[in-house]
Amino acid sequence: MKILHNRFAIILTAVLLLQAGFFYLVAEREEVIPVIVPLEDMPRQIGEFREVQTIVVDQDIRDLLRADDLLDREYVNPDDGVHTGLFVAYFKTQRYGQSPHSPKNCLPGQGWQPLKTDRPEIPLSGGRTIQVNRYVVQKGEDTSITLYWYQTHSRVIASEYAAKFWLVADALRYHRSDTALIRVTIPVEGSDTEKATRSGIEFIRALYPELQRVMPI
């Protein structure tokens, strides 16, 4: 256990040093702030999935997240009736302390208990593959699958630590620190987590081209 704690301390220290280096090195540089299409322009139908509602994000949550744009929607696949939640938080800069909140921190705070986490790979059209986080959580009798990642202008990032590293690298090379948290949530029917995961992956495969159209990625 001491070794694990020490390893965590080393990683945490490295992340803090990277962040400190970022703020020191880019503080005086002019940052490139991209212009994006409003997230509300995301299509009402994504592949076979159709929107059933757009959720209004409360102001206190907006104040907490400090994102420059937010989208919270629910879609349904008419073929099987599976509902899918899509949440996007976009940050045009992280220079002033704004950054995405990891679902691994937020969901337990909302009463969801983690059951399993892993990183499935998702094949996209054109032969590209992306890796995302899968987070299986439970609250009372409800079980849910959360698939999420961090999206920058040039890459998909699953690891929170890697996101900090690329924040510094991209700020130095491209003078950009914009990013987005993409979160897809699927309720589990019965105990079939694999079915929910497959549905989420199908949604992401249809979603990704639309993200490329709306966001500067």
* pLDDT for res 165: 87
Distance between CA 50 and CA 177 in Å, rounded?
A: 32
* pLDDT for res 4: 46
Q: Which amino acid is at 96?
A: Y
Q: What burial letters (b/e) apply to 174-205, b meaning 16+ CB within 10 Å?
A: eebbbbbbbbbbbebeeeebebbbebbbbbbb
* pLDDT for res 86: 98
Residue 88 near residue 73, CB atoms below 8 Å: no
Burial of 68 (0-12, 13-18, 19+ CB in 10 A): middle
Q: Could you write out the DSSP letters of every residue in 18-73? A: HHHHHHHHHTTSPPP------GGGS-SEETTEEEEEEPPPPHHHHHHH--SEEEEE
Task: State the 10-residue block means of pLDDT for the chain, 217 residues long.
Answer: 52 56 56 86 96 95 94 94 96 86 90 96 93 97 97 90 87 88 96 95 96 79
User: Residue 48 sits in which domain range?
Assistant: 2-214
Count the domains in the chain. Answer: 1
* pLDDT for res 29: 62
* pLDDT for res 169: 85
Tell me the H-state helices in 34-188: 59-65, 103-109, 160-174
* pLDDT for res 96: 78
* pLDDT for res 134: 98
